[in-house]
Amino acid sequence: MSTEATIAIETVEVGDPGNAPVGIVPFKPEFPDATQAAEFVGRVDYKYEIARYETTVAQYVTFLNAVDPTGANQLQLWDPCMDPTKDAYRGQVARDLEMPAGQRYSVAAPCWQNKPIAFIDFFRASRFVNSIHNGQSVRTIVSPGVFRYECRFSLETDSGVYNLRNQQTFGAAAGRQAVRGFVLPSQDEWIKAAYYSPKELPSGRHYWRFPTCSDVAPTPATCDACGNVTNAGPGSGAVANYSNAAVWCPSGCAAGTSSGCVPPDGNPGNLTDVGACRSPSPWGTFDQGGNVVEWTDTICAPPDGSPNPANQCIWRQVHGGIAIAADYQLWLSATGATDPYGQALGNVRAFGGFRPAMLPGFDRTGSTGG
């Protein structure tokens, strides 16, 4: 396959279909019994795959140049908040209309290349997924249960998995329309990949409290001036990027010190490279706790009394906590919900990201399906 407008996505298989769900009370740390649980989550009745890593800045820039080569931004796939001239601390993607078509978006600085893309709303994530779903993909086996997809972007982002032809109305209510291929994970698919162990745990349960194979909060990640994690590795225990501990900025990277990094919002925590915390979930995914909060395609109603600035009747579940979050946002029970623009939860906008999932049986090119 040509390398033009292609990216590589590594996935892991999540098995044990038909696993039992777990009862939760949202944002409560305890595991309630069946009579006390407010909802049950985590059951998936089929094998599926999910990306090992959050979608990176480099991958998203390739998407932008592929589907919006003129930089017109008619679909608002690029947010002005991504502009490093507007946000020198967290601006990840530059847009230059003087560049040749197909090169008008670029990674703002080398230190952003492998960090997760942020400022992502549901529509941006779902259009990315539509594009790789509709494009050509070649699958290879990396190791047992681990796969690599070379994905070419399609120009078709309006449909495929999610019908977004009227983004302002029907698009807000768009449900999953595909039974195979790339999708955004559902809430249950996301939770199972992050917390569920097919083997019974010492607690007698099958679900960890944190997505790092632990019932104890991971150590907050620290980093150097370029956002490279410095406290993860053999003997470090579980590490995740949260609690405002990873402090760096692009100008500090250039200067070799983070001492001059002043965040625009008083929260100094910034993003770190995907997988750099080296603390996998039971299935081998990384960063399902911390870094950016991740979109799922599970639809829910706006909670009573919640702010709804875009007046959306359909919200989406999001999970995972963010770089400036407290540890409770990494709990299994942290089932947040927000409107498709990510405004209702505030920092979902600045720290909203995603990872694709892959439903079994995908076979577009004659390669082996799931």
pLDDT one-digit tens code per residue, 221-272: 999 999 999 999 999 999 999 999 999 999 999 999 999 999 988 999 999 9
Length of the chain: 370
Structure tokens at 18: 């038909």
φ, ψ dihedrals at 172, nearest 5°? -65, -25
- State the amino acid at position 328 in one-letter form: Y
Distances (CA, A) of 57 to 99, 168, 328, 338: 19, 26, 27, 23
- Block residue for tokens 């603390």: 279
What angle separates helix 57-67 from helix 122-134, to the nearest 10 degrees? 70
Within 8 A by CB and 6+ apart from 246, the residues are: 220, 221, 222, 223, 227, 229, 269, 270, 271, 272, 323
3-state secondary structure of 147: strand
pLDDT digits (tens, 9 = 90+) for 64-85: 999 999 999 999 999 999 999 9
Q: Is 61 helix (H, G, I), strand (E, B) or coil?
A: helix
State yes or no: pLDDT of 169 exceeds 90: no
- What values do phi and psi take at 30, rounded to 5? -75, 155
Q: Which residue type is seen at 141? A: I
The CA-to-CA distance between both ends of the chain, in Å, stands at 20
pLDDT higher than 70, residue 3: no
Q: How confident is the model at residue 4 (pLDDT cuts 50, 70, 90)?
A: low
Kindly tell me if the per-residue pLDDT of 1 is higher than 70.
no
| pLDDT tens for each residue of 307-325 | 887 788 889 999 999 999 9
CA distances from 154 to 10, 140, 151, 177, 265 (A): 19, 20, 9, 17, 37
Quickly state the pLDDT bin for 181 (edges 50, 70, 90): very high
Q: By percentage, how much of the chain surpasses pLDDT 70?
A: 96
| Pair of tokens at residue 252 | 């500090």
For the whole model, what pTM was predicted? Answer: 0.95
| CA–CA dist 125, 297 (Å, integer) | 10
The pLDDT of residue 366: 38
pLDDT at 110 over 50: yes
Distance CA 194, CA 113 (A): 24
Average pLDDT, the chain: 93
* Local structure of 151: helix, strand or coil: strand
Residue 92: alpha-carbon gap to chain centroid: 16
Indicate if the pLDDT at residue 362 is higher than 60: no
What's the CA gap between 141 and 358, in Å, rounded? 14
